[in-house]
Amino acid sequence: MAAVSTTATDAIAAGAVATAQVQDQQHGQGHGREHHSDHQHAVHAQSLQQPPAGLRDNAPMHTPNTSIATRNARGWALPGIANLHSHAFQRAMAGLAERQTDPADSFWTWRETMYAMAARFDPDLLHAVASQLYVEMLEAGYTTVCEFHYLHHGPDGTPYAQADAMSQALLLAARDAGIRITLLPVLYMTGGFDGRPLSARQQRFGHSVDAYLRLLDTLRISEGDTVRIGCALHSLRAVPSDPMHEVLTALPAASRIHIHIAEQLPEVEECVALRGARPVEWLLDSVPVDARWTLVHATHLDDGEVQDIAGSGATVAICTTTEANLGDGLFPLRDYLDAGGRWGVGSDSNSSVDPVEELRWLEYGQRLRAQRRNIASSMRVPSVGSTLLNGAVASAADSTGFNQSDVIVLDADAAILAGATEGDVIDRWIFSGNRPLVRDVEVAGVRVVEDGRHRDREAIAARYREAMKVLLA
């Protein structure tokens, strides 16, 4: 069979995209800006119209139309990818929550399994599991991790003698692996929007405002070239309004702020019932959300919330594999990109540790919803892979606090990349299967992965195996 040139492929695609552009124009020019306080919100996520394939061509996207892939002596060089949301300890339970525990299994029943695993961790076990996870992240192409950390105390809620022992375990794991880390200690105060106290299994997560701010002050001493300390508010249901404002007022001006929000419909319903507004609506109306903020999940939005997040400059951390694993729902990607929204990806529960899978299924989920192809694309940026990867790269500094660029190199000798060009190598990496293609990874100028293997893979894996024996005993 004769080979199809990139030029020929582009010509074929151009005709399809031109058709999609006509459909886009027929579809309309997007949502008008409307502040939430001026309109009513349905409790359940709206059933949005199926969008035409491809982004609106005049959408104010934060995606450059130039290639970020360059060829060097080792292969195809790309910017390192930031993992915007991780719970390291949950890597230890990957595959262990895939048995029915209730006919209506959901996030809320999965959470019981998570609590049981969380209760088994101490600083040494957390260090071993996180080190292995961070090695896997680096070998997959992540060079920075935002670690959303809430295992602060002993299992019964008693603080460790060294109050930041669990946080230090994570910082040591990142240093051992050689990954940049934005450590996000979590403020977790209540068990629901009604202010109920933390349950027995949540005690190790909890802090008063004063204790939490002391923790942040202690940890900031550790900041350096590969360490940032930010702030995580677990969720609106776990942080009441007054403590939230107190913490936000006390933070340094440049502090990054992350929060779980609107992941589950019951969360949306409870927020409406007890705070009189949907979660994202309430947040944007109550605090000055800007580019320092990362909203994790934001799965269940109405049209106005989509527009207002985009207008705020905040980043949404979309965690597609975890959201699929937990049955959360699909983020309204097409409408959000049309609004000019910023986004990145995260591995969250770490059931999968692969930016390729996160990006691929971010697009594939939208295709299943819309029953069309090539959703994250436009005439200006026809490559879906480039749209997704460029968008993730563009938001990284605001979400992580790191302005430096790291490098990953894809193996140009891999058969699946034979004949690759600057114009198609990203699409071929993301949409050509699951064979590992990351050859080298450099973080802060240090090569930590070479020829697909982390420099300390065997030693770190050995510690992980010993830790898992204890955790599963």
State the Cα–Cα distance between residues 93 and 322, nearest whole angstrom.
13
- Catalytic-role residue among 328, 338, 348, 354: 348
In this structure, what are the phi and psi dihedrals at residue 461, rounded to the nearest 5 degrees?
-65, -35
Residue 239 burial (CB count, 10 A): 22
Q: Which of 74, 104, 169 is nearest to 131 (CA)?
A: 169
Residues near 313 by Cβ (< 8 Å), separated by ≥ 6? 290, 291, 342, 398
Is 297 annotated as catalytic?
Answer: yes
Cβ contact 329:268 at 8 Å: no
Tokens coding 98: 């895939």
What is the number of alpha carbons within 13 Å of residue 65 lying toward its C-beta? 9
Buried b (16+ CB within 10 A) or exposed e, 197-224: ebeebbbbbbbebeebbebbebbeebee
Is 348 annotated as catalytic?
Answer: yes
- Catalytic-role residue among 207, 297, 300, 454: 297
State the Cα–Cα distance between residues 85 and 79, nearest whole angstrom.
18
Active site residues: 297, 348
